[in-house]
Structure 1
């Protein structure tokens, strides 16, 4: 079998499918990725309860059949979203991630919880407190001022604000994980 040297950062190439499958099955012989293994994949340890809840919500959004595991097809779908997904797809995923209680709306507390979690995981200090940043974001996207952000408000508000769009795009930047997996695949060929 030929060596695939194309950049998966641009797209998940068909010639790599077999290698991705082989890597997944080598790392997860049961064919299922558990929540614990998901955290290991991202190198996440000793998380606060809030950060752990965020990672669990992220895991749940990738677990499309809600069986408590990520199988190979869900894994590929997640990679495709990260690598090839357009702005609309990524924003739809972000809305689902931020809507912690699955009500169809994001409230200030949910937004604040996610912002605190992302900051804790990334370890990035900020001049603006999480509370102030959540209020700024919420005020920008809660167009009708009802205290909840609908999917439509979220999509419109984020796409009309370049700072928010950049921030959300960066929050889904998992290229370092994909690069790590690719390096491991190349060394095992």
Structure 2
């Protein structure tokens, strides 16, 4: 994809920043960067390419919708592109981040209109994308991404209702960041579901 001799180098300041702010080692960061520049010689990642890369983490699911939400969260200037630093921060938080950082990031993703709270429609949209992402046995041609081995009563709608019953402490129809973090930290299943993570938040 591009001449090796003309590829950009990772700046010392970006390398130091990523060493301090991610769980990756220096060697891992350099390795990620080399792969990033191979795919994106101009140093910028489009949403289409981001989805292709991220899909590798969830090869059995449908990553497009969830990745679109992730991309939106990190593309702060709505340019339609993210640079390597933004890319690795996204991978770090979603794949390696500590529970509270991951939940703060996840809250931003769920808060689609960035108004500081999550309403039912926003929650439903993300839950639908997570079901698609984690649906290893999703029927390829089933309507609405139906998952064949899942309890038929376990739908994005029922899951959203359940989440609001647990998290919406003051029953005002929206979930604040504090309610979101408290609810996830108190319920391992919710944590894993809402962060698309299979690790234990206690660790």
TM-score range, shorter chain: 0.7 to 0.9
Q: Structure 1 residues 39, 14: closer, same or farther in 2, change over 3 A?
A: same
What corresponds to 2:193 in structure 1?
Answer: 167
Aligned mates of 1:56, 1:162 — CA distance in 2: 25
Q: What is the aligned residue count?
A: 159
What is residue 186 of structure 1 aligned with on the other side? none
Asked if the contact 2:24–2:92 (Cα under 8 Å) also holds between the matched residues in 1, the reply is: yes
Structure 2 regions of 5+ residues with no counterpart?
A: 1-21, 137-146, 199-203
TM-score for the superposition, normalised by structure 2? 0.69
Q: Which residue of 1 is the match for residue 184 of structure 2? A: 158
**1: CA distance between counterparts of 2:86 and 2:197?**
16
Change (3 A) 1:112 1:83: closer
Which of 27, 37, 55 matches 1:25?
37
Number of the residue aligned with 1:123: 135
Residues 59/172 of structure 1: CA separation in 2 closer, same or farther (3 Å cut): farther
**Cα pair 2:118 2:174 within 8 Å, conserved:** yes
Find the aligned partners of 2:91 and 2:135 in 1 and give their Cα distance: 24
Return 5+ residue gaps in structure 1 as ranges. Answer: 1-9, 174-189
Q: Measured at CA, do residues 92 and 129 of structure 1 come closer, stay the same or move farther in structure 2, by a change above 3 Å?
A: same
- Evaluate the alpha carbon distance shift between residue 41 and residue 148 of structure 1 in structure 2; reply closer, same or farther with a 3 A threshold: same
1:132 pairs with 114, 136, 158, which one? 158
Question: What is the TM-score when the length of structure 1 is the normalising length?
Answer: 0.74
Q: Hey, what does 1:89 align to over in structure 2?
A: 101
Residue deviations 1:132-182 (CA, integer Å, cap 9, x gap): 11100111000000000011111111111222123234x146xxxxxxxxx
Contact 1:11–1:83 under 8 Å retained in 2: no
Q: Residue deviations 1:8-43, cap 9 Å, x none?
A: xx9411123322222111111110000111122234
